[in-house]
Structure 1
Amino acid sequence: MNVGDRIKRLRDRKGLTQQELADKTGYKSKVAISKIESGQRDIPRHKLERVAEVLGTTVEYLETGKNINELGEFGLNRKYLESADPDLIPYLDELSNPNSKKRILFDKVKDLEPSDVESLLRVIRMFEEGK
């Protein structure tokens, strides 16, 4: 997976069109984003920084696929939950707490899609509420 692949993957996860990403990052049209995602065009560092910000990730992740944050895509999952079901945020926080007994679970699922993390947290909430 290269920079363009990671940009496309995160853009899709956020539900952004190529034009929306172009608008938010200072490109004139979706053609530029399309070329970046397909590897036909390089992206300057200052634009890569803006893309990372808009996509809720780091430049390092876009360049290497590695997160400096050991929690994987925690930030992306949190942003997703803030709009999908904010009541699940405390469960995500507990799951990601290094001192939590549930931390082992988070270590196993940290790379799930945000919607899958949402489903998992709903199940945890259901168990804790005794339903």
Structure 2
Amino acid sequence: MIGDRIKELREKRGLTQKQLSEDPYLNLNINTLASYERNLREPKIDMIVKLAHYFGVTTDYLLGVSEHKSDENSAISKQIPLSDKSIDFLKSVPPELQPTLDLLLSDPNFENFLLEVMTYIYSLKHGESSESVDIISYKLNEEINKAGSSYTPSEITKIISRLLPRLQQAKVIEALERLINSMVEHDKRD
């Protein structure tokens, strides 16, 4: 709701309700502001426009229609689904690092690297992919049976579950190495 957004923006600026209400541009009664923030009242359209301008956000953001604070970020997100934080980060990259960032993002190995990172993060956050554990367990179980060991399939699965994050971390490192090597090769050609 709009009151939550007003409060969030006010607090991010480190302002009290009193300080915001006393701003001559807004000419806002403190009780009115408090009722907005508690979602007991909604501001009129002219006040919505003033508040959006004051905080440097779009009226759509203030109204909760958009998650993007600026028109520019909203337009970018329609083409590339990124958050304001990601868009702002990309826009803030120093000019001397932009060629490196461009090279990184345009490298054909970058997608594979991202997929490995996502798999690794997912495994840490949600536990390992049961499919990966099952495949590795099956292969390992075959090898152990050939060797005549007495591990049960559930014990093997537990062992692999402990090892899988390390295996996935190694895959991330390998993908990063491929990406770096590819970027170095590209740099040598230029």
How does the TM-score come out when normalised to structure 1? 0.53
Residue 72 of structure 1 corresponds to 84
Residue 57 of structure 1 corresponds to 57
Question: Would the alpha carbon gap of residues 98 and 4 (structure 1) be closer, same or farther in structure 2, given more than 3 Å must change?
Answer: farther
Amino acid at match of 1:9: E
Aligned partners of 1:6 and 1:65 also within 8 Å? no
Question: Would the alpha carbon gap of residues 93 and 49 (structure 1) be closer, same or farther in structure 2, given more than 3 Å must change?
Answer: same
Aligned partners of 1:3 and 1:62 also within 8 Å? yes
Question: Would the alpha carbon gap of residues 99 and 72 (structure 1) be closer, same or farther in structure 2, given more than 3 Å must change?
Answer: farther
Q: CA RMSD in A?
A: 3.4
Residue 117 of structure 1 corresponds to none
Which runs of no fewer than 5 residues in structure 1 stay unpaired?
Answer: 78-90, 105-131
CA distance in 2, matches of 1:47, 1:100: 44
Amino acid at match of 2:7: K
State the shift of 1:10 in Å: 0.9
Which runs of no fewer than 5 residues in structure 2 stay unpaired?
Answer: 78-82, 106-190
**DSSP 3-state at the match of 1:101:** helix
**DSSP 3-state at the match of 1:57:** coil
State the shift of 1:98 in Å: 8.6
Q: Between Structure 1 and Structure 2, which shows a larger proportion of helix residues?
A: 2
CA distance in 2, matches of 1:41, 1:12: 19
Residue 26 of structure 1 corresponds to 27
State the shift of 1:73 in Å: 5.6
Deviations 1:4-25 (CA, angstroms, capped at 9, x unpaired): 0011011100111112222221
Residue 47 of structure 1 corresponds to 47
Identity of aligned residues (%): 23
Amino acid at match of 1:11: R
Runs of 4+ in 1 over 6 A off after TM superposition: 97-100
Residue 3 of structure 1 corresponds to 2
Residue 16 of structure 1 corresponds to 15
Larger Rg: 2
Deviations 1:109-128 (CA, angstroms, capped at 9, x unpaired): xxxxxxxxxxxxxxxxxxxx
How does the TM-score come out when normalised to structure 2? 0.38
CA distance in 2, matches of 1:8, 1:50: 15
State the shift of 1:54 in Å: 1.4
Count of residues in Structure 1 that have an aligned counterpart in Structure 2: 87
Question: Would the alpha carbon gap of residues 59 and 17 (structure 1) be closer, same or farther in structure 2, given more than 3 Å must change?
Answer: same
